[in-house]
Amino acid sequence: MMVALLSAPTISEAWLAAVRAAVHAPGGRSLHSVVSVAHPGPPEPELVRVIDDLLDDRRQHSVSTVASTLFPSNLYADPGVHWHPDMSRVDQQRLDLAAEDLYETYCTALPVLLGADGNHHGTYFGRLVSWPGKNGDGYNQLAVRIRQLRAQRRKGNAVTNAADIVVDGPAELATEVANGKDATPGTLQIYHSHDERTRAFPCLVHIDISVLDNQLSVLAVYRHWHLITKALGNLIGLSRLQYFLAQQTGYDVGELVVHGTVVAAQFGQFGMGRVRRLADEAAALLSSAEVPADPEPSVSGVP
């Protein structure tokens, strides 16, 4: 069954909408589910706790661990300033150094991370900052995208869609760019045409960055989106990555969209009854919860 679009104001409500849709689909699976989050930000803490309790019982990674695979916020010392073409040199240095420290710290730790269980094929953030993610001296896609988006911001461009990020695809083109060759906008959006694996490939295959009306929006495409073990952590990590990009480029935080080509409620792993109870518990929590203060506000100063 195909679900065209699920729209929600927060990532917690978006997660619940996706789970409810999958629960009512045959076998707990839906095809081409698109989840839109109008106001990305932090999750409802009690929802995270409830999901973590279930994951811990099944010896699965926590929500926070999954989120860190996309953006390791514990390694980012947020300087509390947002990029602007007219910002002071001192503030820009603070912002740049915070990003550079994040990249360097992560790349230094990458060999250890690749030795951890489940990371042998690379990590998502490793592919973002050191493509193809097998060592710490690869092509830094984030740094390049930030440089490109700042250039658009300096020109006063409120619309641009020439900033994509590869998560799965051939390394040859990225290597050429790293060696000083220019790439046509969008040409890094390439998948492995010769990849015949049926398992062990990245579920997240592509991240699109688009700017409209000075708002930076992000769309992520997942081959398989596992709603219980991965989805909320994915949404949190993507939201943090989106905030980082907006802070570093001077645009406001816009919409966050996830397109799951196959979305699973994971009945086989957790049982239909348990997943349904989790959805009901989450609905009760979100209906009574106060919206948490957002530590990741939209970037100010954008005309």
What pLDDT does residue 138 have? Answer: 86
Is 204 contained in some domain?
yes
Q: Are 132 and 122 in contact (CB under 8 A)?
A: yes
- pLDDT tens digits, residue range 4-31? 589 999 999 999 999 999 999 999 998 8
What is the average pLDDT across 197-216? 79
Range of the domain at 220: 6-288
**Per-residue pLDDT band at 175 (split at 50, 70, 90):** very low
What pLDDT does residue 168 have? Answer: 63
Is 161 contained in some domain?
yes
Is 294 contained in some domain?
no
CATH number at residue 18: 3.30.572
Is 19 contained in some domain?
yes
- Rounded to whole angstroms, the Cα distance separating 147 from 131 reads 17
| Mean confidence (pLDDT) of the chain | 84
- pLDDT tens digits, residue range 285-297? 999 875 444 444 3
The three-class DSSP label of residue 78 is coil
**Per-residue pLDDT band at 92 (split at 50, 70, 90):** very high
Is 138 contained in some domain?
yes
Number of structural domains the chain divides into: 1
Task: Give, for 99, the enclosing helix (H) or strand (E).
Answer: helix 89-114
- pLDDT tens digits, residue range 69-84? 999 999 999 999 999 9
Sequence-separated (6 or more) residues with CB below 8 Å from residue 13: 286
What pLDDT does residue 122 have? Answer: 64
Is 299 contained in some domain?
no
160-166 β-sheet, strand order: 6-8, 29-37, 252-264, 215-226, 204-212, 160-166
Question: Which range, 135-139, 178-182, 224-228, is most confident?
Answer: 224-228
Is 295 contained in some domain?
no
Q: How many CB atoms lie within 10 A of CB 59?
A: 6
Is 219 contained in some domain?
yes
What pLDDT does residue 192 have? Answer: 44
pLDDT top residue among 298 and 247 = 247
**Per-residue pLDDT band at 2 (split at 50, 70, 90):** low
